[in-house]
Amino acid sequence: MVYENVDGVKIGLEIHVQLNKLNTKLFCGCSTDYHNDEPNTHVCPVCLGLPGALPVLNKRAVEFAMKVGLALNCDIVGQTQFHRKNYYYPDLPKGFQTTQYDFPIASHGKVIIDGEDGERIVRITRAHMEEDPGKLMHIGSIEKSKGTLINYNRSGMALIEIVSEPDMRSPKEARRFLDKLRSILEYLDVFNGDLEGAMRVDANISVMGGERVEVKNISSHKGVEKAALYEIMRQKNFVRRGGKVVLETRHFDEQRGVTLSMRSKEEEHDYRYFPEPDLVPMRVADRVPEVIKTLPELPDAKRERFTSQYGMADMHAKALTSEIKVANFYEQVANLVDPRSAAVWVADILKGELNYRDVSVDAFKVEDIVEIIELVTGNKITERSGVEIIRTILDNGGTPAAIVKEKGLIKVEEDIVTKAVTEVLEENPEALQDYLGGKEKSLNFLVGQVMKKTAGRSDAKTTREMLLDRISKLPPK
């Protein structure tokens, strides 16, 4: 099947990723662990832009950025170079943002995603380092707030901005790309996507060869998909009515699911870029081989290994490797029980239950899923009971053993019942004949006999069903 892309949709993305696994900010020693703290408690003269303070480049941030670049199959620049991007905004304490301009840390890469019609290559134009501004806050809504408050805890956090070519042909591909990107970043252990503001996306969208429209600052993958869907529809309708799409910047209203115009290209800033005189170039080319050595196994490689090493279906391998946490969880489980059963239980069942509740795999213990799998494969409980235990643990807590006991999930050992059924049918040929002759009550007798033999470990309903099943399979006499 070939995807036609009848509307000529082209989507390119610019993704701001906070390298929030660093201990300190990009140009100062302030801690990055501010998410649960009071505003303006993780600040210093440097990230507050106090007069006279100077930046010092965080070497580890450069290493993180190199890792990202290499994982996205990019070329790494010879030495770092930072520029000043000049504009006025209250969240920008220096009146300029220190960023990379014509020498980004990484460029010319690619990422492979599952596209509309199979594998799709999305080219990476560049990835550059920059600092995050502060955050504006309002009491109540923007309209009603008496003023604007500024929290500079975020100011100076290291960002890497990843810019793709317009290689995505549908909102779904855009979302897949973002999912893949997040997956890679988490594999690299440079990024925790669960933290607020960790990833912000600008989407450039065009249809039918028209000009691109930039939708700014979308905070979720789902939001990007929705914004793109809306924008494609809007642009198509606009063109259909004889309009001509012009370069412009729009804002995505997440609640209403619509995009709204912010400014046209003519109103764009002149950022007056020039080299940051307070930072000296840092040579990084020589460090590439050593950074390559630190790269972990990435999602695509892991997916291949899972299919070959554990003999699982590619579908399972894909599901298990998209999130590093899930992949690690799976491998721990696979070490203790049959890897193929583990794949089914983790990929198909546990992951579904986690997604449904929107919680991460951290919410579940390896030993619990191992115990559940062992109970099912050991024929102690039914699959349905296994699922029930997972749900119970997620919703109310507890351990598999306790839940089995509390809910009486231990399956009656079927062979005992089966054996009893066989014996009772052999020992009571008359009753069987009576039943086959139309005497319904004889069945009740047989049920009673089986239950007597199993000492009540089988219930009447099951026993009845089993008897009927067996009788229906008897060879005709």
Would you give the binding string for other proteins spanning residues 206-235, x where CB under 8 A is met? ------------------------------
DSSP type of residue 344: I
**Length reported for the chain:** 477
| 139 contacts 145 by C-beta, under 8 angstroms | yes
Closest distance of CB 128 from other proteins, Å: 19
Distance CA 194, CA 358 (A): 11
Q: Which stretch binds other proteins (CB under 8 A): 31-39, 272-280, 417-425, 457-465?
A: 272-280
| 444 is a contact residue toward other proteins (CB under 8 A) | no
Nearer to other proteins, 52 or 140 (CB): 52
Residue 285 near other proteins by CB under 8 A: no
Of the ranges 47-55, 60-68, 180-188, 320-328, which one interacts with other proteins (CB under 8 A)? 47-55
Q: Is 279 in the site for other proteins (CB under 8 A)?
A: yes
Residues 6, 51, 256, 476: which binds other proteins (CB under 8 A)? 51
Least distance from other proteins to the Cβ atom of residue 253, Å: 21
Among 84, 128, 154, 351, binds other proteins (CB under 8 A): 84
Please check whether residue 104 is in contact with residue 82, taking contact to mean a CB–CB distance below 8 angstroms: no
Neighbours of 303 (CB within 10 A): 20
**Alpha-carbon gap, residue 147 to 450, rounded angstroms:** 79
Would you state the structure tokens that stand for residue 401, as one six-digit string?
């053993």
Tell whether residue 267 is a contact of other proteins (CB under 8 A): no
Round to whole Å and give the CA distance between 287 and 284: 5
Segment (H or E) for 76: strand 75-76
For tokens 């489980």, the residue is: 333
Which DSSP category does 326 fall into? H
Note whether 429 binds other proteins by CB under 8 A: no
Handedness of CA 432, 434, 440, 441 (dihedral sign): negative
Q: Which is nearer to other proteins, 29 or 448 (CB)?
A: 29
Smallest distance, Å, CB 270 to other proteins? 5
Any contact of residue 359 with other proteins (CB under 8 A)? Answer: no
Q: Tell which one of 45, 257, 311, 352 touches other proteins (CB under 8 A).
A: 45
Taking CB under 8 A as the rule, does residue 57 contact other proteins? yes
Is position 96 an interface residue for other proteins (rule: CB under 8 A)? yes
From candidates 12, 49, 166, 339, binder to other proteins by CB under 8 A:
49
Does 48 sit near other proteins (CB under 8 A)? yes
Residue 55 near other proteins by CB under 8 A: yes
Selected from 16, 60, 75, 86, the binder of other proteins by CB under 8 A is 86
Of 90-98, 224-232, 318-326, 375-383, the segment contacting other proteins by CB under 8 A is 90-98
Radius of gyration, alpha carbons of the chain: 31
How far is residue 463 from each of residues 385, 440, 471, measured CA to CA in Å? 20, 15, 12
295 binds other proteins (CB under 8 A): no
Q: Which of 52-60, 299-307, 386-394, 414-422 is the region at the interface with other proteins (rule: CB under 8 A)?
A: 52-60
> Of 8, 54, 102, 402, which lies in the binding site for other proteins, with binding defined by CB under 8 A?
54
Taking CB under 8 A as the rule, does residue 126 contact other proteins?
no
Nearer to other proteins, 272 or 407 (CB): 272
Burial of 38 (0-12, 13-18, 19+ CB in 10 A): exposed
Report which of 52, 66, 68, 56 is spatially closest to residue 25, judged by C-alpha positions: 56
Residue number, 268 or 395, with CB nearest to other proteins: 268
- Sequence-distant (≥ 6) Cβ neighbours of residue 35 within 8 angstroms: 195, 196
Nearer to other proteins, 97 or 170 (CB): 97
Stretch that binds other proteins, among 11-19, 182-190, 271-279, 351-359 (CB under 8 A): 271-279
CB 370 within 8 A of CB 389: no
Q: Which of 14, 16, 21, 53 binds other proteins (CB under 8 A)?
A: 53
Question: Residue 19 is encoded by which pair of tokens?
Answer: 């390298």
Helix axis angle, 414-427 relative to 460-472, nearest 10°?
60
Does 292 contact other proteins by CB under 8 A?
no
Q: Which of residues 138-177 bind other proteins (CB under 8 A)?
A: 148, 150
Number of residues that bind other proteins (CB under 8 A): 29
Instruction: Print burial letters for 160-172: b (CB count within 10 Å at least 16), e (below 16).
Output: bbbbbebbbbbbb
Q: Which of 12, 69, 93, 223 binds other proteins (CB under 8 A)?
A: 93
Rounded to a whole number of angstroms, the minimum distance from the CB of residue 65 to other proteins is 17
At a CB cut-off of 8 Å and minimum separation 6, what does 273 contact?
83, 84, 85, 86, 101
Pairing of strands 106-115, 75-76: antiparallel
| CB contact set of 469 (below 8 Å; sequence gap of 6+) | none
Phi and psi at 296, nearest 5°, equal -80, 175
Binding site residues, other proteins, CB under 8 A: 45, 48-57, 84, 86, 88, 90, 93-96, 148, 150, 270, 272-274, 277-280
